[in-house]
Amino acid sequence: MNIEMIRAAAERLRGHTRVTPLLSSPFLDEIAGRRVLVKPECLQHTGSFKYRGARAALSALDPDLRARGVIAFSSGNHAQGIAKAAAEFASPAVIVMPSDAPALKIANTRDLGAEVILYDRATQDRDEIGAALADERGLTLVKPFDEPQVIAGQGTVGLEIAAQAAEAGVREAEVLVPCGGGGLTGGIALALAADAPGLTVRPVEPEGFDDVKRSLETGQIASNAHTTGSICDAIITPSPGEITFPILAALCGPGLTVSDDDCLRAMAAAFTRLKLVIEPGGVVALAAALYQPEALSGDSVIVVATGGNVDAELYAEALARFG
């Protein structure tokens, strides 16, 4: 895993992924007590950054394997990314999704042309289900984060941040990234280490599901006791990956955690101040920037908003409580 793989992915993604802008609002700056720059990957195709990694992986795959098809496990955004990228290569895609994933994500994945197979998170083993299907149909597994080409694709967010931060005059800042398995966080960290060494990545997780934060503290991969029970389910993984963790350990600052209520509050702020729809798991970094200013340093903070695939009902709740 290295910066050249990220640059190569950026070449392959050119004209397919959107270069998302870097947004800001004086009202958010005021809440945070510093300049807040937001990278809205909710505006990426399929509504999340996951399309970058999916397209990067599909485009790097041997054409014969690609023609047989791919399989992925996902609570939603990786699923949509893979579904779209596979459709673009006319490649069959099977997505194994938890049955409690947001309805919108399941529907979108199907509408994008993938075959969706649901499983029960509590009682079934998705790896077993997936392995059996992959064997039977000769499908290639595209892992959601512990996969070099996926990390390379997500890392293109970092290349864009490096260029856009420089353009905005920001040379030193913390870059807060919503962190599940660490594919996006690791990819961005690698890209920034190469192109913007004054920018330091800090992973952000939901309270009570801080496997990455604890892993960084001890230097050993730690696990979450549970993987459900937060509105940020989409970014909860059992533990950081074997490929991603060493990258995070080498390059990232300390982890941060945020409460579900602060996520709802940040969702309302994104709506009102940025005109953006951000999903709970995608808003954790903005929540940390806005409501934990004392945990951060520097005049500016850069925040990645990873996705916007959220059921309208939950957003309405956020607006009713905090809008």
Residues binding its own copies (CB under 8 A): 18-21, 23, 26-27, 40, 42-43, 47, 104, 108, 111-112, 268, 271-272, 274-278, 308, 312-313, 315-316, 319-320, 323
CB 84 within 8 A of CB 108: no
Phi, psi of 17 (to 5 degrees): -85, 155
| Minimal distance, residue 27 CB to its own copies, in Å | 7
If 0-12 CB within 10 Å is exposed, 13-18 middle and 19+ buried, where does residue 167 land? exposed
Rounded Cα distance between 55 and 92, Å, is 14
Tell me which residue has tokens 């996969």.
Answer: 147
Minimal distance, residue 287 CB to its own copies, in Å: 17
Strand partners, 37: 302
Interatomic CA distance for residues 30 and 244, integer angstroms: 34
Residue 107: partners with Cβ closer than 8 Å, 6 or more residues away? none
3-state secondary structure of 280: helix
**Closer to its own copies by Cβ: residue 41 or 210:** 41
- Closer to its own copies by CB, 131 or 320: give it: 320
Nearest CA to 198 out of 244, 168, 162 is that of: 162
**Of 130 and 308, which CB lies nearer to its own copies in the complex structure?**
308
User: By C-beta, is 122 or 316 nearer to its own copies?
Assistant: 316
* Cβ-based nearer residue to its own copies, 171 or 275: 275
Alpha-carbon dihedral 151, 74, 63, 14, rounded to 10 degrees: -50
Minimum CB separation of residue 33 from its own copies in Å reads 16
d(CA 179, CA 177): 6
Task: Identify the DSSP state of 300.
Answer: E
Question: Minimum Å distance from CB 276 to its own copies?
Answer: 6
Contact predicate 323/243, CB 8 Å? no
User: Could you tell me the smallest distance in angstroms from the CB atom of residue 71 to its own copies?
Assistant: 22
User: In the complex with its own copies, which residue's Cβ is closer, 134 or 163?
Assistant: 163
Residue 241 or 308: which CB sits closer to its own copies? 308
Min dist. Cβ of residue 169 to its own copies (A):
11
Shortest distance, position 236 Cβ to its own copies, whole Å: 21
Name the DSSP class of 236. -
| Paired tokens of 169 | 């005059």
